Amino acid sequence: MDVGGYSREVQLLISEIQKNRGKDPNAVLKASEKLLACGKGMKDDALIGYAYFSRGETYYLLNDASNFYSQMLSCMGPMERVKEWGYVAMANNMLGIVSLNRGNAPFALDYFIKAISICQEYSLPDIEWMIHMNLGSLYLNIEEFQKSISHTEIAYRYLLDHSNMEGYIENITAIMLGMGRAYLKLDREEKYLEMEKKLRCDCLPYLQDMDKIVIYCFFARVHQAIGENDARDYWIDMVNKSTSTSMPILDVFDDFFDYLSMLLSTEKYDDFFKAYTVLDDLTKHTTIKNLERKLLTLKIRYYRRVGQIEEYKIASVLYFELSEFMERENRLMVSNMIVMRNSYMELTQINRKVEEENTFLQKRSETDPLTGMYNRLKLNEYSDEAFEKALINRASIAVEILDIDFFKQYNDNYGHQAGDDCIKFIASKLMDLSNEPGVFTARYGGDEFVIIYEGLSREKVEEKANWLRNEIYEANWEHLFSLTDNRVTISQGICYGIPVRDASLFAYLQGADKMLYEVKQQSRNAIKICDASEL
């Protein structure tokens, strides 16, 4: 933005904003407020747009998602009118980041694709690489790991050719971490070890202490993956010493979430709660309910793992309440998106790209990538219709939750690839069952699966559940580390009933989960069923 033609007062305000950007948020907000008043008084879109953009960027750095969203959307129209396409691209990019963190990947993808299209239309490679990096994060988030790596590598190549840019070390660190996380998920040891070495040699010595924390998280996960427990514990200790409540949560959440998952899976509960407490405080400050809900899943897994049933129930209710809040929040996001689209330039090429990517994402977002089964998102959508139909028709409905007996022992001894193959084997049997009328199956997460039976008698539900259990047992899939058998078996909990008003998947799942818990306490490879009216 050319400031030469403005008054001395305006030039000083812009200088104040640029000088304090990323350093003194109060000074930036104060100067931006004055600049906005000047811009409105002069009816100058460039000043209005820049003031809104500066305020939005500052709220982003302050983890204040609500104020960020309103300010950044407000900057779009003025910046488009004065053809400041760089700011429009950056605004779309940041809106994409926040939309992704709010749990709305299709909206995030929409923003990112538009930002890239603007960069390509107006030759803005210095901004485009950042958007590819964020697209890498999006695809990593939905477990499209190879596509994540492809986008991140575009950003990586650009940075390697521009090593003299400001913030080079911080940016190359973020890119290497993104690729490293994807390679860990793909279990490509030579690749994630390569990223670990580059981070240790090329980045770590040159970073500020605050920027090192996510590297420590990654290093701990790497050494866990290769079985070097002493080295893993060293990096865990470094995380404990460095974790701070001043971390930029939107930039570190995913790294910390994966790190916390690792601590939980290895039963390092003290370290888990040290990091969890800090991340929980930061997450609540953002008011982004999706992050709160996602983080809460870890606590729910912990309570269930250690058998704290009352705490588990309380956390599950909170999870449900956060999900309801997110539905309202997403409706607001839809409204904002419609306003943004109506005021946005009519670019047919952009809309075509968005539609192509969104079609892919919609299909991908409701399907579990490992098994090809429906996932939890599709389960929630399907269950709403199933319960409504059962309520209208006064028909029965049953919800089953099942898991693989002693799966942790299977995974630990046979390896993650064998564990994935075992999950796919169970999924294949469930999909066979789902071919029958009135049966819907989905992967719930990890080694847990959910079945919805519609319009069947209690005896028929039990018959089908027994068929599934016997099919898996008769397959004789080896599990020499099971504590009750020498083959893979499952345990099943079922809640059966005729829904009344306000009945939901959540309530039936709680009943089924209680039955599953009782099966686990008494024996394995068994079925237990309860009546929904007894809940």
**Structure confidence at residue 253 (pLDDT):** 84
Domain range for 519 is 376-534
Average pLDDT over residues 393-398: 93
Contacts of 87 (CB under 8 A, 6+ apart): 1, 49, 50, 53, 75, 79
The yes-or-no verdict on residue 178 having pLDDT over 70 is: yes
**DSSP string over 298-356:** HHHHHHHHHT-HHHHHHHHHHHHHHHHHHHHHHHHHHHHHHHHHHHS---HHHHHHHHH
- Contact yes or no for 27/18 (Cβ under 8 A): no
Q: Which residues are CB-contacts of 525 (< 8 A; sequence separation ≥ 6)?
A: 405, 469, 473, 484, 485, 489, 490, 491
The Cα 71–Cα 85 span in angstroms is 17
Q: What is the DSSP string of 494-518?
A: EEEE---TT--HHHHHHHHHHHHHH
Range from 194-198, 212-216, 341-345, 398-402 carrying the lowest mean pLDDT: 341-345
What mean pLDDT value characterizes the chain?
Answer: 87
Query: What letter does residue 452 receive in the DSSP assignment?
Result: E
Confidence of residue 340 (pLDDT cuts 50, 70, 90): very low
DSSP 125-164: HHHHHHHHHHHHHHHHHTT-HHHHHHHHHHHHHHHHTTTT
Confidence category of residue 342, pLDDT binned at 50, 70, 90: very low
| Dihedral pair phi/psi, residue 454, rounded to 5° | -115, 130
Rg (CA), the chain: 26
In whole angstroms, give the CA distance from residue 306 to residue 345.
54
**436 part of a folded domain:** yes
Nearest C-alpha neighbor of 333 from the set 115, 132, 143, 100: 100
Residue 464 domain-assigned? yes
Q: What is the mean pLDDT of residues 432-443?
A: 94
Residue 428 lies in a domain: yes
398 contacts 386 by C-beta, under 8 angstroms: no
- Which residue, chain included where needed, has tokens 């701990």? 220
Residue 35 located in a structural domain: no
Beta bridge pairs of residue 367: 374
Read off the pLDDT of residues 27-81 as tens digits, 9 standing for 90 and up: 999 999 999 999 999 999 999 999 999 999 998 888 777 788 889 989 988 999 9
Going by C-alpha positions, the residue among 343, 340, 354 that lies closest to residue 69 is: 340
Q: Which pLDDT value is given to residue 344?
A: 43
Q: Are strands 527-531 and 448-454 parallel, antiparallel or unpaired?
A: unpaired
**Tokens 């269930």 appear where?**
304
Q: At what angle do helices 85-101 and 105-121 cross, to 10 degrees?
A: 160
Q: Find the mean pLDDT for residues 221-241.
A: 95
* pLDDT score recorded for residue 343: 43
Closest CA to 360 of 151, 178, 139: 139
Torsion angles phi and psi, residue 397, rounded to 5: -150, 145
462-516 per-position pLDDT tens digit: 999 999 999 999 999 999 999 889 999 999 999 999 998 777 788 899 899 999 9
Q: Is residue 4, in this structure, part of any structural domain at all?
A: no
Please say if the pLDDT value at position 362 is more than 60: no
- Record the tokens describing residue 257, joined without a space: 């979430």
d(CA 343, CA 337): 10
Q: Is 358 exposed, middle or buried (0-12, 13-18, 19+ CB in 10 A)?
A: middle
Q: How far is CA 266 from CA 20, 275, 407, in A?
A: 43, 15, 14
Q: In CATH, what number is assigned to the domain containing residue 442? A: 3.30.70.270
Distance CA(211)–CA(172), nearest Å, equals: 12
SS3 state of residue 423: helix
What does each C-alpha distance from 358 to 23, 104, 108, 271 come to in angstroms? Answer: 37, 12, 10, 39
Predicted confidence at residue 480, as pLDDT, reads 95
- Domain for residue 397, yes or no? yes
**Degrees (nearest 5) of the Cα angle 454, 322, 284?**
160
- 154, HSE (Cβ side, Cα atoms, 13 Å): 19
| Contact in structure between 508 and 452 (CB atoms under 8 Å) | no
Question: Is 166 within a domain?
Answer: no
Question: Please, which pLDDT band fits residue 354 given cuts at 50, 70 and 90?
Answer: low
Q: How confident is the model at residue 345 (pLDDT cuts 50, 70, 90)?
A: very low
pLDDT for the residue 247: 73
Q: How far apart are CA 348 and CA 72, in angstroms?
A: 24
Cα 198 to Cα 202: distance, rounded to the nearest angstrom: 5
The end-to-end CA distance of the chain, in Å, is 64
Domain count for the chain = 1
Helix (H) or strand (E) holding 475: none
- Classify residue 76: in a domain, yes or no: no
Q: Map tokens 């002493």 to a residue.
A: 230
Query: Nearest-5° angle of CA 378, CA 147, CA 197?
Result: 120
Q: Using CA atoms, how far apart are residues 156 and 179, in angstroms rounded to an integer? A: 10
Distance CA 329, CA 474 (A): 48
Q: What average pLDDT does this structure show over 6-14?
A: 90
- 331 is written with which tokens? 């409706």
Nearest to 105 by CA among 366, 368, 376, 295: 366
Distances (CA, A) of 99 to 7, 105, 223, 323, 427: 37, 7, 32, 16, 32
pLDDT digits (tens, 9 = 90+) for 252-281: 888 999 999 999 999 999 999 888 988 888
Is this prediction's pTM over 0.75?
A: no
Taking alpha carbons only, the member of 53, 1, 3 closest to residue 29 is 53
Q: Say how far apart CA 100 and CA 216 lie, in whole Å.
A: 24
pLDDT at 415: 93
d(CA 222, CA 192): 7
| φ, ψ dihedrals at 400, nearest 5° | -115, 135
Residue 101 near residue 326, CB atoms below 8 Å: no
Instruction: Give the pLDDT score at 287.
Output: 67
